C-alpha cells in the first residue's frame, strides 16, 4: 500500500492540479484516500473507476495497518475442530481483529492488484489530460 500512498500524491498533483505540500504529506493514507474520493467528481468513466479503486483501497487500510504496524498472534481462544482453519489475531493498539492466513493473503494480493490498477488509471487519465490540452 506504500505505492498507493505515493500515487495519491501523483493524483493530487497531476489530476487535481493541487500542490503536494508538507500538510498533504503528513496526512495518513486513509485521510488522503478520503480526500481524493471526495474531490474526484468528474463524470468521466476513468475518473469514476479511479475513485472506486481509491474507495476499495480505503476499505483495506485497516487490514494494511494491522499488517504493517500490528502484531500477529495465534488465536487460541478455543480448541480447533478437525479441518478448522487456524485464525490469527491481528493486534494493534486500537483493536483486535481475527483473520485467517488465507484472508491475510487475499488482502495482500488485492492490495498489489489495486496498486497496479490505480497506476494504470492514473496513467490513462494523465494521457487524456495531455491529449486534450495539447491539441
Split into its structural domains, the chain has a count of 1
CA distance 72 to 2: 20
Between 79 and 12, residue with greater pLDDT: 12
**CA triple 92-118-4, angle to 5 deg:** 35
Domain region containing 59: 2-77+86-134
Chain centroid to Cα 76, Å, comes to 30
pLDDT of residue 83: 74
Global pTM reads 0.80
CA distance 117 to 101: 24
* C-beta separation of 40 from 54 below 8 A: yes
Between 44 and 67, residue with greater pLDDT: 44
Chain centroid to Cα 13, Å, comes to 18
* C-beta separation of 12 from 20 below 8 A: yes
Once rounded to an integer, what is the mean pLDDT over residues 11-39?
95
Whole-number mean pLDDT of the chain?
84
Per-residue pLDDT band at 8 (split at 50, 70, 90): very high
For residue range 74-115, list pLDDT tens digits in order.
556 666 677 776 666 665 556 666 667 777 788 888 989 999
Once rounded to an integer, what is the mean pLDDT over residues 23-47?
95
Amino acid at each position: 500500500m506504500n505505492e498507493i500512498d505515493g500515487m495519491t500524491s501523483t493524483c493530487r498533483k497531476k489530476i487535481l492540479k493541487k500542490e503536494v505540500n508538507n500538510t498533504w504529506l503528513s496526512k495518513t493514507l486513509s485521510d488522503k484516500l478520503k480526500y481524493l474520493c471526495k474531490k474526484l467528481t468528474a463524470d468521466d468513466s476513468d475518473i469514476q473507476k479511479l475513485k472506486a479503486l481509491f474507495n476499495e483501497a480505503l476499505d483495506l487500510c485497516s487490514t494494511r495497518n494491522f499488517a504493517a504496524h500490528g502484531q500477529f498472534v495465534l488465536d487460541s481462544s478455543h480448541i480447533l475442530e478437525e479441518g478448522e482453519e487456524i485464525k490469527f489475531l491481528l493486534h494493534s493498539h486500537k483493536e483486535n481483529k481475527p483473520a485467517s492466513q488465507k484472508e491475510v493473503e487475499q488482502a495482500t494480493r488485492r492490495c498489489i492488484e489495486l496498486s497496479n490498477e490505480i497506476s494504470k488509471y492514473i496513467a490513462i487519465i494523465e494521457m487524456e489530460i495531455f491529449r486534450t490540452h495539447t491539441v
